[in-house]
Amino acid sequence: MAAYRVAPSPEPRYERIRRELAAAIGDGSLRAGAQIPSLPQLCERYAVSSITARRAVLELMKDGLVRQRPGRGIFVAERSRPRHAHVALVSVGFAPEWWRPSSEIFGQLAGGIASSVYVRDATLSVVPVDEAAQAPAALRKLLETQRIDAVLLRTAGDADDALVASLREREIPFVALKRPAPAGGSAVSTDDVAGSEAATSHLLARGHARIGLIVTTVSRAIYEAKIAGYRRAYEKARIPVDERLIVTAERPVQRAGELCAAALLDRAQPPSAIFACSDNLALGVYDAAHKRRLRIPYDLAVVGFDDQDFAAHLNPPLTTLRVSYYELGRRAADLAFEACQGAEPRVILLPVSLVVRDSTQPYARV
């Protein structure tokens, strides 16, 4: 039997073995009913571990190219045909009370991903995991039952090390959505530093020197990026930052925004403007202002982040930062398919744009 040699390539080792064996099956070098090399033979010929060799054979079985005959070995299937690529969107840690107010964002992400999948005639699985601690086990089960070529990770917080390690161990390409890239993976996110700076600069330019910042701590990297943009705007305006005006919310939900806004507005020296780092948090700011009979934008200016559909229909309409989650999803899926072809991991930062509406008027104490 001929030895199959692997040329240097950035693609996963198991995929190179699978591809060469699939090619041999396709061109008739390995005919229907022929036995393929055993796991020890594959390990020796490709200089790989038994885990890698077993993964390659499992992928061939999931493709329907080979069949196992207990006690005898693995044989080429009688009727075999190639399959389409399969990617999985794994959503981790989004409890219902969190994702339901942001279902529009999830819909846009899914739409962008689906558009990339469609043009490649590929398939897509969506795997929701409410609790982050359950994600590694859920991912293992998924990979044991389906052939997955790449994973798109949408995590509430930064990606868990155990989850990332399970993907690296199986040599499956992965792309983080709206989160920093874990080691060994790609990511598509938004330029949160520039966005936060633009929002803060807009308020400063309208005469607001005391600007409250409400930022979530779900992702440490994004938390730091939004504070960095806020500080940069103040630095450029040569105005010192009052650290007491920076408050944190555990989650980007309306009730958390109201509590944070209340803490700011009840200070002896309250802010004249609040930049809430999500539109849902900004909804909570509107609630807090209404309960205190503060008029937006005359007594309090408000800026959000995301430009969800409801932002334009609030009273007054919300000034916010627009993010194209459709484009984010599409670009992430594109990266996943590129990785399946052996492309190196990379990071894409998408721009955000400020949409000015009536919630921010020039500051004037009435």
Residue 363 falls inside a structural domain: no
pLDDT by residue (tens digit) across 273-305? 999 999 999 999 999 999 999 999 999 999 999
> Are 199 and 260 within one domain?
yes
pLDDT at 1: 38
Give percent of the chain with pLDDT exceeding 70. Answer: 94
> Are 306 and 217 within one domain?
yes
Q: Computed from CA positions of residues 156, 162, 168, 170, in that sequence, does the dihedral angle turn out positive or negative?
A: negative
Q: Is 284 exposed, middle or buried (0-12, 13-18, 19+ CB in 10 A)?
A: buried
> Cis omega before residue 37 (within 30°)?
no
> Are 307 and 205 within one domain?
yes
pLDDT at 83: 59
pLDDT at 358: 96
Residue 354: what residue type? Answer: L
DSSP conformational letter for 11: S
Q: What distance in Å separates the CA atoms of residue 240 and residue 237, rounded to the nearest whole number?
A: 9
> Are 218 and 263 within one domain?
yes
> Are 262 and 210 within one domain?
yes
Give the structural domain span for 296.
Answer: 192-323
pLDDT at 5: 40
CATH number, domain of 218, equals 3.40.50.2300
pLDDT at 137: 85
pLDDT at 9: 44
Q: C-alpha 153: how far from its chain's center?
A: 5
pLDDT at 8: 43
Q: Give the total number of structural domains in the chain.
A: 3
> Are 265 and 314 within one domain?
yes
Residue 265 falls inside a structural domain: yes
Residue 81 falls inside a structural domain: no
For the chain, which residues score pLDDT lower than 70? 1-11, 79-83, 98-99, 364-366
CATH number, domain of 58, equals 1.10.10.10
pLDDT at 2: 41
> Are 144 and 45 within one domain?
no
